[in-house]
C-alpha cells in the first residue's frame, strides 16, 4: 500500500465526519427553529381567538344603554392595538416580542376593568350570551397560557441545541440566533391584594 494513501484516507474520513456533523447541526437547528415558530403561530392563534371573543363581548355589553362608555372605549382601543401588533414568526426579536406583550397586556387590563364594571349591571350579568362569552373567554385565557408555555419549551430546546459547544460554532456560521422567550408581564410576580372583608 502506498504511503500517501493512508493520510488521504484519514483526511477523507475526517472531512466526511465534519460534513456529517455540519449537516446534522444545520438540519436539527432548522427543525427546532421550525417547531418554535409553529408554537409561536399557536400563541398568535390563541390570542386571535381571545380578540374575537372580546369583540363579541363588547357588542353584547354595548346593548346596555347606560353602560360606562369610557370603559368600553378603552377596551375597543386596546383591542385595536392588540390586533394590529403582530409578529411574523421569522422576525421574533426581543423588541418585537416586548411590543406584542405590551399590547396584549394593555388589552388584558382594559378587559379586567370591563368585567369589574359589569358587576354593577345585573341585566348584563344575567344575559345568557354574555355569560357564555365570559366562559369561553376564561377557557381561551387558559389556552393562551398553555400556548405560551409550549412556545417557551420549544424555544428552550432550540436555544440549548444551538448554544451548546461545539454546535454553537456552526449554528453561528449558519445564521441561527437565540430566540426570545415569552416573559411574564411586568408586575405579575407580585401577588395581588385580596380583601376578604365581607362587612
Angle between helices 128-163 and 5-62 (to 10 degrees): 160
Question: How many alpha carbons fall within 13 Å on the CB side of residue 39?
Answer: 25
Which uninterrupted H or E stretch holds 109? Answer: helix 94-118
Q: Would the pTM count as exceeding 0.85?
A: no
Q: How many CB atoms lie within 10 A of CB 158?
A: 25
pLDDT at position 198, please?
Answer: 36
User: Which segments in the chain show pLDDT lower than 50?
Assistant: 188-199
Report residue 100 as a C-alpha cell: 406584542
Domains and their CATH numbers in the chain:
24-173 (1.20.1440.20)
Length of the chain equals 199
Cα–Cα distance for residue pair 161/170, rounded to 1 Å: 11
DSSP-derived secondary structure letter, 185: P
pLDDT at position 58, please?
Answer: 83
pLDDT at position 186, please?
Answer: 58
Amino acid at each position: 500500500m502506498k504511503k500517501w494513501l493512508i493520510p488521504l484516507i484519514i483526511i477523507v474520513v475526517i472531512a466526511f465526519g465534519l460534513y456529517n456533523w455540519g449537516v446534522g447541526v444545520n438540519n436539527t437547528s432548522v427543525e427546532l427553529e421550525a417547531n418554535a415558530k409553529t408554537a409561536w403561530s399557536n400563541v398568535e392563534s390563541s390570542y386571535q381567538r381571545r380578540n374575537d371573543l372580546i369583540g363579541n363581548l363588547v357588542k353584547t355589553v354595548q346593548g346596555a344603554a347606560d353602560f360606562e362608555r369610557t370603559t368600553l372605549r378603552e377596551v375597543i382601543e386596546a383591542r385595536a392595538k392588540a390586533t394590529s401588533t403582530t409578529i411574523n414568526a421569522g422576525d421574533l426579536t426581543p423588541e418585537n416580542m416586548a411590543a406584542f406583550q405590551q399590547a396584549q397586556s394593555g388589552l388584558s387590563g382594559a378587559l379586567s376593568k370591563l368585567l369589574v364594571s359589569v358587576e354593577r349591571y345585573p341585566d348584563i350579568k344575567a344575559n345568557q350570551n354574555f355569560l357564555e362569552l365570559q366562559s369561553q373567554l376564561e377557557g381561551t385565557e387558559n389556552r393562551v397560557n398553555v400556548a405560551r408555555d409550549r412556545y417557551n419549551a420549544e424555544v428552550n430546546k432550540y436555544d440549548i441545541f444551538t448554544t451548546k459547544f461545539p454546535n454553537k460554532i456552526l449554528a453561528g456560521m449558519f445564521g441561527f440566533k437565540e430566540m426570545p422567550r415569552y416573559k411574564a408581564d411586568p408586575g405579575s410576580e407580585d401577588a395581588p391584594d385580596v380583601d376578604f372583608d365581607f362587612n
